[in-house]
Amino acid sequence: MNARSLASIVRQGNAVVQVRNRIDSLLSGRLGRLLERIGISRAKGENVSPVDRMNDLADTLLSVSGKASGPSLASAFFDLYDASSLEERRAFLSGLRARFPRNGKAIDAAIATWQAAPGEPAARALHKAAEARSHKLIRKLNTAPGGTCRLIRMREDLLSKGKLAGDEGALDADFEYIFEGWFNAGFLELRRIDWDTSASVLERVIRYEAVHSIESWDDLRARVQPADRRCYGFFHPQMPDEPLIFVEVALTMDLPDAIGLILDEKRVPINPHTASHAIFYSISNCQEGLRGVPFGNFLIKRVVGLLREELPQLDCFATLSPVPGFARWLAGAGGADGLAGEPLRAKAAEYLVDGRDAKGNPLDPVARFHLGNGARLEAIHADADLSARGLKQSHGVMVNYVYDLDAIETNLLTLSELGQVPHSPAVEALGRSLAA
């Protein structure tokens, strides 16, 4: 172990001791005596582990109903949680669902009440009795300062374990269920991100960009300052400086066939009022802890609405999208040796049109997203992304999905009812060339 690692461990240990002392101070006064009077005891002594102390605080938080003490207890819990090691945090999360199970006796009693006298009061009582105590704990923790953001980080700790099952999978489902309500698109604020946006938000855009990495501040400036470039993000009122998801848009005169044309910092901007196409070329989810919460489809539709109001001459809304699963699929289908140009595009057409996962959905995740929003697979381009990432994940192939607003419902029905990927005649021709 080197000196830096040892110093880090010492700092973390000191932080835990300091937090533990603050918690002891909080619970040794009137609040602690009151808790003991109503039958709530807590583990004491220096040898109590951080996991036991977190469980202790969670028990206490669930046991009290006071609005005054709740935020203080929730804040104390998060102070201890944040000061603990990742291993200790994961240990707490792994045991949380088992420690706070549903109340079977209360559910049985509520069912009996419903059966004896069905009605609205009995239905409400049954709903309350059936609620997982972990739901209640999550809501109470949210009363801490910055509670929403801290809960998202907590779920990130849970998801960092990889594939979840059993109690951990159930806890993850609890988080996702609650977050879907808290982060409903109707509660979110759509904001344009430009060069005058606060530095803290711009720094996060650089950090969170997940499709085409932003290499410098000049690179970022070229994406958000020119008149023919746009960036929009969803924000939550409790997290005003933390974008949840953002999309980058290029206003162009035609459908682009390579990302270099869009990202070129030396290009000559065009007048946005002469543009005919709005190209969504990068969509980045920013919060891993909000995985599974659907933002993207709402974001694109809202941005389309804004652009149509500002620039009514726009007649095409489309993407220039990566194909992240193509190289892996192609390797399993015989590899890409010798494939280039039209043969490579034809194999990409086969993957995108016919490839299916175990549930029968389009195999490629980006295709699944855009097709699931009602878009049409319009064109497939070779040598479109020559970055290291583009070559690794798709051999440089990129595609256009077109959002034809008059055809979205038809496209969705084609995908969901017929199991077919809506695609253009040009993509169909590529498929025929492969068969020939």
Active site residues: 321, 370
Distance (Å) of CA 432 to CA 207, 339, 342, 350: 42, 17, 12, 10
CA dist., res. 38 & res. 24, Å (int):
18
CA dist., res. 370 & res. 401, Å (int):
7
CA dist., res. 125 & res. 311, Å (int):
52
Return the HEC string of the chain: CCHHHHHHHHHHHHHHHHHHHHHHHHHCCHHHHHHHHCCCCCCCCCCCCHHHHHHHHHHHHHHCCCCCHHHHHHHHHHHHHHHCCHHHHHHHHHHHHHHCCCCHHHHHHHHHHHHHCCCHHHHHHHHHHHCCHHHHHHHHHCCCCCHHHHHHHHHHHHHCCCCCCHHHHHHHHHHHHHHHHHCCHHHCEEEECCCCCCHHHHHHHHHHCCCCCCCCHHHHHHHHCCCCEEEEEEEECCECCCCCEEEEEEEECCCCCCHHHHHCCCCCCCCHHHCCEEEEEEEEECCHHHCCCCCHHHHHHHHHHHHHHHCCCCCEEEECEECCCHHHHHHHCCCCCCCCHHHHHHHHHHHHHHCECCCCCECCHHHHHHHHCCCEEEEEECCCCCCHHHHHHHCCCEEEEECCCCCHHHHHHHHHHCCCCCECHHHHHHHHHHHC
Query: Which one, of 279, 260, 254, 257, lies nearest residue 379 by Cα?
Result: 257
